[in-house]
Homo-oligomer: A and B are copies of this chain.
Amino acid sequence: MRDVNREFSLGELAVRFGLELRGDPALRVSHVATLSGAMPGSLSFLANSRARKHLSASHATAIVLSAGDAEACPAAALIGANPHLSFARIATLLHPQPTATPGVHPSAVVADTARIASSASVGPFCVIEAGAQVGERVELGAGCTVLAGARIGADSRLMPRVTLYAAVQIGQRCIVHTGAVIGADGFGFAPDEGTWVKVPQVGSVRIGDDVEIGANTTVDRGAIEDTVIEDGVKLDNQIQVGHNVVIGAHTAIAACTGISGSTVIGRRCMIGGMVGFAGHLTIADDVSVTGCSLVSASIRHSGSYSSGMPTVETRAWRRMVAHLRRFGEKER
């Protein structure tokens, strides 16, 4: 993937991204690299203390970093206040995503009443049902299934094998990775003398703009009203979002987290991996939850919350569990 796609001079990059350049503006970079993997032509970056040990020996042509690290930079320095952000933007320029050719692959099955923008690209073996809408410049990878009445906003990109159930709405500039399932039935059953009767899930899913959804993530449709994912939310892989959950704008959630039905998560939250949320909770804006925690009650104030228990040697762990169990005995 380290294709040399394009080349840019450091002078050009400094101007375009508002960075201070210490070095020769005529030098050119063609690709990104880690500090330790860099070679001539590489652009690298330093954005956290963990990587600083690799700085002095880097063979990069240029390194994006903060002013405080510029002194120690062995290459041309592109200096900015947010090196990770500047790096992200330069990397997007150096490694542009290939874009698909507009048009509907002849193998795709498209209902007469579906509306596909002429600038959209629909891959092989896609199925687009009645009343579905596919916006301008949308890309559907191979094998995507867009059920009746689902809508996809302009410039969104579905990787191969994404399924949108009926009436699901996806905003603009979203990215949805392979295997994601948006709008499957929520888990709703009424008990009936030891058996379960299915409660029809008649809500849908509304996903805002600039949302990214990871591979094999599932977002269930609402029971009555809709499940909602607001603008700018980033969901990693294998996340489960239950029916009628609301995830506030610009919240980021790491892989394998599960959110039970009707829980409302605030804006700009950062949720670690494999976190479990009980249902019907309200989580404030700007809450962080560290990985492997169980959120079983609402969180009213922004801040950092945890309950993941870190590993110790199994023998020590057994002693800890034995002690803990004593606390479970009834008070006498």
Let me know if A292 is at the binding interface, CB within 8 A: yes
Which of B141, B250, B313 sits near A305, CB closer than 8 Å?
A: B313
Residues of chain B lying within 8 A (CB to CB) of residue A199: 84, 87-88, 91
CB within 8 Å for A95 and B312 given contacts A224-B32, A319-B327: no
A179 near B163: Cβ-Cβ < 8 Å: yes
B145 near A142: Cβ-Cβ < 8 Å: yes
Let me know if A276 is at the binding interface, CB within 8 A: yes
A319 to B305 alpha-carbon distance, docked (Å): 13
Number of A positions contacting B (CB below 8 A) = 131
Let me know if A89 is at the binding interface, CB within 8 A: yes
A278 to B272 alpha-carbon distance, docked (Å): 9
B296 near A310: Cβ-Cβ < 8 Å: yes
Let me know if A8 is at the binding interface, CB within 8 A: no
Which of B161, B218, B252, B325 sits near A312, CB closer than 8 Å?
A: B325
A95 near B202: Cβ-Cβ < 8 Å: yes
Closest residue of chain B to A254 (Cβ to Cβ) is: B187
Interface 0/1 of A145-188, CB less than 8 Å to B = 10111000000000111010111000000010111010011011
Residues of chain B lying within 8 A (CB to CB) of residue A200: 32, 88, 91-92, 95, 97
Stretch from A18-26, A70-78, A120-128, A132-140 that touches the partner: A120-128
Let me know if A207 is at the binding interface, CB within 8 A: no
- Mark out the residues of chain A between 284 and 321 whose CB falls within 8 Å of any chain B CB in the assembled complex: 288-297, 299, 303-321
A179 near B276: Cβ-Cβ < 8 Å: no
Residues of chain B lying within 8 A (CB to CB) of residue A210: 195
Nearest chain B CB to A289's CB is how many angstroms away? 6
Residues of chain B lying within 8 A (CB to CB) of residue A314: 288, 290, 303-306
Closest residue of chain B to A293 (Cβ to Cβ) is: B311
Closest residue of chain B to A48 (Cβ to Cβ) is: B280
A85 near B254: Cβ-Cβ < 8 Å: no
CB within 8 Å for A197 and B274 given contacts A161-B161, A202-B1: no
Let me know if A112 is at the binding interface, CB within 8 A: no
What are 25 A-B pairs at a CB distance below 8 A? A32-B224, A84-B191, A84-B199, A88-B197, A88-B198, A91-B199, A91-B202, A95-B202, A97-B200, A143-B143, A161-B163, A165-B178, A181-B215, A185-B212, A187-B255, A189-B252, A195-B210, A195-B250, A216-B238, A255-B260, A256-B258, A299-B311, A303-B313, A306-B311, A306-B314
Let me know if A323 is at the binding interface, CB within 8 A: yes
